[in-house]
């Protein structure tokens, strides 16, 4: 018999959102500093930082979404879907 206890997420799974937001933030800050140093306009720099953060975050999340799941993720997903009767 199989247990219906959920699997505890590993450390890498817990750190993934922080890594994505951190990378996006670093890229946005880099662009913000470059714009601030070249134009000396704080408002333009803040706008560029915010837009860059959103765009980089969206691109990273789309790339992560297209990745193929490994066998452990497939079995975990299969276990979750087979536990429910989707076709009564």
Q: Rounded to the nearest 10 degrees, how much is the dihedral formed by the CA atoms of 61, 63, 64, 68?
A: 150
> Are residues 69 and 77 in contact, defined by beta-carbon separation less than 8 angstroms?
yes
Residue 59 structure tokens? 């691109």
What pLDDT is stored for residue 67 in this prediction?
Answer: 79
| pLDDT band at 82; cut points 50, 70, 90 | low
Predicted pLDDT of residue 1: 47
Q: What pTM was computed for the model?
A: 0.68
- Which of 75, 78, 16, 26 minimizes the C-alpha distance to 53? 26
pLDDT score for 59 = 95
Q: Taking residues 62-83, what's their average pLDDT? A: 72
Span 16-62, pLDDT tens digits: 889 999 999 999 999 999 999 999 999 999 999 999 999 999 999 99
Which range has highest mean pLDDT (7-11, 16-20, 31-35, 81-85)? Answer: 31-35
Whether the CB-CB separation of 25 and 53 falls below 8 Å is answered with: yes
Q: CA torsion sign, 27 to 31 to 33 to 34?
A: positive
């Amino acid at each position: 018999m199989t247990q219906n206890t959920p699997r505890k997420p590993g450390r890498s799974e817990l750190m993934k959102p922080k890594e994505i937001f951190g990378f996006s933030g670093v890229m946005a800050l880099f662009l913000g500093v470059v714009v601030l140093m070249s134009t000396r306009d704080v408002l333009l720099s803040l706008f560029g930082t915010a837009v860059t953060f959103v765009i980089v975050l969206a691109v990273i999340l789309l790339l992560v979404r297209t990745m193929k799941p490994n066998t452990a993720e497939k079995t975990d997903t299969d276990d979750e879907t087979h536990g429910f009767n989707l076709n009564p």
